[in-house]
Amino acid sequence: MKLTIIVVVILLIAVIGLVIGYVPLMEVPYTETIEYQDTETYNETVPLEHELIVNIRPSGVGLSAHLYGYIIPRATITVWNKDTIEGNFSVIFRFVRQPYTGDKTVSEETWTQFELDKVKEFTVERILTLKPNEQKDAIFAPFIDYSGDTWTWEYEVIADTKTVEKERTVTKERTETQYKKVSILEYLFKS
């Protein structure tokens, strides 16, 4: 009987030791990095909102057309400020005329003055100041024979800019204190 009591006591002590040693009984703090979504504001520079109407047509108007009998190209870029603020719009026209290969019905003086035997570039900038919802025309008519010369043209419109505030979603991290239950043995060995 004594042996049974001793075995029971030893088993009871072993069970209590195992419970105390391995069953999570204590709450301990620990830190964890948590990712979360947040909205942040930032500034961005954007051009003023605008709309363009592009037109190129032959024009018999102008001193050159009347003096030399040329019909010249007339490029019109209509800029419409669709923004809420006033701003400048730079319209850059670029015409390139290839050497003239037609008949030489113009005088030698005109031929030399306008360098008809060379590639000729005509570039001009027009600056339009436009209030909100206002539209204006930028016009350029270079000395080019609309139907007799070989020519190309292009344009570029550069608008003033403004700073606007925008929002974006970003992933951020923060450190949080969490709690977990650990056994007494784990607590004693990690402390």
Cα gap 59→96, rounded to integer Å: 18
What pLDDT was estimated at residue 64? 47
Tell me the domain boundaries of the chain: 2-42+167-190, 49-159
pLDDT, averaged across the chain: 80
Summarize the confidence of residues 21-43 as an average pLDDT: 84
99 or 154, higher pLDDT? 154
Tell me, what's the pLDDT at 70?
63
Residue reference for tokens 């056994």: 183
Average pLDDT over residues 55-84: 73
CATH (one of 3.10.450, 3.30.200, 1.10.3470, 2.60.40) for 49-159: 2.60.40
Q: Is 52 left (phi over 0), alpha (psi -120 to 50) or beta?
A: beta
Question: CA 139, CA 60: separation in Å to the nearest integer?
Answer: 14
**What's the rounded mean pLDDT across residues 147-172?**
88
Exposure string for 28-61, b = 16+ CB within 10 A, e = fewer: eeeeeeeeeeeeeeeeeeeebebeeeeebeebee
Question: Over pLDDT 70: what percentage of the chain?
Answer: 74
Question: How many Å apart are CA 125 and CA 162, to the nearest integer?
Answer: 22
What is the percent of the chain where pLDDT is above 90?
A: 35
The whole-number average pLDDT for the span 137-149 is: 77
Pairwise CA distance, residues 125 & 90, whole Å? 7
Six-digit token string for 128: 């339009």
pLDDT at 63 > cutoff 50: no
Burial 105-137 (b: 16+ CB within 10 A, else e): ebeeeeeeebebeeebebeeebebebeeeebbe
